[in-house]
Chains A and B, each alone.
Chain A
Amino acid sequence: MSVHILLLSLTVICAAFAVVRTRVIRAAIMLASISILVTITLFVLKTPLAAIFELSVCAGLITVIFISVISLTNPLTKEERSEERENMFKKFLLLPVIIIVCGVSFYMLTKGINFIPVSGPEAVEVSDKAELWHLRQIDLIGQIIIILTGVFGVAVLFKDNKDDKK
């Protein structure tokens, strides 16, 4: 249990850093760190298939895409960054307090809860392959729709329509 708490705490810290970093590249590295921590958590929880997906897709592929895009942008100048950092500190001054308050409140609210319930129904053992490709087909279709939606999101948000009159 203590390993889980340590891993989850590190994940929250990395997430907070990903938000407050002024250099986008460092924020991307922090996001990759989150994925690595989640991968370790999933391994500890004995779900290797999910861990491998998380590592290869989130920590690997998505980080590569982030870094490729960031390499195409112009970095901030020193002055801009120091100004940004100053604003950032003001903006996120309360972030550690919020994280601590949320963490303590959650602990207080849930400390009386026994998360291992009374003799619940036995989960039927199903292989990962059967779970993914046979029992969860509708969810896979949902994922396909999300990917297609994401493609349109990129097209809408990043495409310049100036020369594209109706």
Chain B
Amino acid sequence: MTVSLIFIPILLVILLNIPRLSGKAAYYAALAFFAYQLIAVFFPEAVGSAQFSQVLGRWFRLNVSADGISKVIIISTAIVAIAALMTSKPFIKYDSRLFSLSNLMLLATAGINGIVFAKDVFTIYVFVEVIAAASYIMIVLDKTESSLEGGFKYLILSSIATVMMLFSVSLFFLVAGGTGFREISDAVRNFGGNTVVMLAITLFMSGLLIKGGLIPFHAWLPGAYGSAPAGVSVFLGGIITKATGVFTLIRFFYSVTGFNDNVKMVLLITGSLSIVIGAIAAITQKDFKKVLAYSSISQVGYIVLALGAGTSLAIAAAVFHIFNHAVFKSLLFVNAAAVEKQTGRRDVDSFGGLGYKMPLTSATTAIAFLSAAGIPPLSGFWSKLFIIIALWSAGCRGFALLAILASILTMAYFLNLQKKVFFGEMSPNLEGVKEAPLSFTIPQIFLCAITALAGVGFFYVIKVLIFPSAGII
């Protein structure tokens, strides 16, 4: 599975370009690959993924492997990528732009897969760069002033994060004599108190917190999410920041260095600040996409807060919330795109009663909001419950209470948004608005079904995917 999911997108990009095919062909090829990726996780033999990897293994010796956490991220990536690409299509006027976007999403997905399967911190650095380059280009795809500004901010802060990570990798190399997980793990075990090791861990963690857009490293995120083309916002908000920031953080601490008390405290404080400040900032926003952007900061805060507990249950809870957040946040960004496409605006004060005209969008938004706020039996409830149990059982009771109270803030800004946009009296200038076309409604139903099914069938999800990923049987 591992090798095929890195090689196939690269081969597809080459095939699509020599000879150059149409934007539509690239679009369907990319969709087909994302669907393939989703199926390959569950049935690697049936779709030929395992055989493909064996054949390539004769020529290439790639230092990669997959574990339970990788599987969850690969599934989330495929789901978000399908929704993001479908959402992008109605907004794109030019064939060449559809072609470029489809290719860039394939390359970014190859980058995510590379990070997920990496067993070496330098490899993580290389693939983080792949994603950063692809994301920057996708953000500025429309070449509007705001998108160029958002992209530029992302580029600068992302470069700072990259420099920190590269410096950290070089320090690890100095101490461990290599950059593989095993070498670094041994070095941390043997020289954990060494200041060079501590500096390396701090720099790597800071770089990842910038990539994850956590407070106080979040300056790039609202601009990038808000100004990116609709589909790209789905991709960014759904998986990019999670793969480059949060997943890598989990991999780094869980599989490589382990958690010490200082690291745990930094993660707990960063997570708490992100939850509270992100939620308060979301309440004050007027732009639909910016509410979702700040909400992402808040929700990613929950994942980092869980990591701060440092136990296996906390890791499982964090991984579960990554999956849930990827799904419900993608759904919300798809719905924001649908509303923008049908009404031509994003200012939440200019709507009202849109639910009468766009009932499916309204209903799916409500379900996503309820899941984000942690209302049972939706999937977001279970992951938040696990986060709170993990914090409580690890002795971080104050942080567990904060997580519960912050859910009220989440509920507040989402109810406010739902009320202003979809409920109440219908705004007279929305008379001619119709329900979104199939490019939006298919991902809406698809994502909404996953949120609901993962909630109702949570026991199966945690038994098959989540608990094994954290080594809990």
Contacts and interface: CB of A to CB of B under 8 A. Distances in A.
A122 B137 contact: no
B186 to A, nearest CB: 7
Contacts of B186: 121
Give the secondary structure class of B's interface.
Answer: helix
Interface residues of A, number: 37
A120 B176 contact: yes
Contacts of A114: 195-196
5 contacts: A114-B196, A138-B62, A149-B104, A157-B137, A166-B93
B235 interface: no
A156 B141 CA distance: 6
Interface string A154-166: 0111010100111
Contacts of B378: none
B130 A120 contact: no
Interface of A: 110, 112-115, 117-118, 120-124, 134-139, 141-146, 148-150, 152-153, 155-157, 159, 161, 164-166
A127 B126 CA distance: 21
A9 to B, nearest CB: 17
Interface residues of B, number: 53
Given A142-B130, A157-B140, 13 more contacts: A117-B175, A117-B191, A122-B177, A138-B120, A145-B127, A148-B107, A149-B107, A153-B133, A155-B100, A156-B97, A156-B104, A156-B137, A161-B93
Contacts of B118: 138
B110 A145 contact: yes
B64 interface: yes
B6 A152 contact: no
Given A139-B122, A149-B130, A165 B95 contact: yes
Give the secondary structure class of A's interface.
Answer: helix
Contacts of A156: 97, 100, 104, 137, 140-141, 143
Contacts of A121: 176-178, 183, 186-187
A137 B56 CA distance: 12
B195 A113 contact: yes
B252 to A, nearest CB: 17
Interface string B69-82: 00000000000000
Given A137-B61, A155-B100, A157-B140, A120 B126 contact: no
B359 to A, nearest CB: 29
Contact of A161 (B97, B177, B196): B97
Contact of A148 (B10, B175, B178): B10
A134 B61 CA distance: 7
A35 to B, nearest CB: 17
Given A148-B10, A159-B96, A139 B126 contact: yes
Given A112-B195, A152-B107, A166 B23 contact: yes
B98 interface: yes
B194 interface: yes
Given A161-B97, A165-B95, A145 B10 contact: yes
B93 A165 contact: yes
The 10 closest A-B pairs by CB, nearest first: A142-B126, A123-B177, A161-B94, A153-B137, A121-B177, A113-B195, A138-B62, A149-B133, A164-B94, A145-B130
B203 to A, nearest CB: 11
Contact of B10 (A110, A138, A144): A144
A88 to B, nearest CB: 17
A146 B177 contact: no
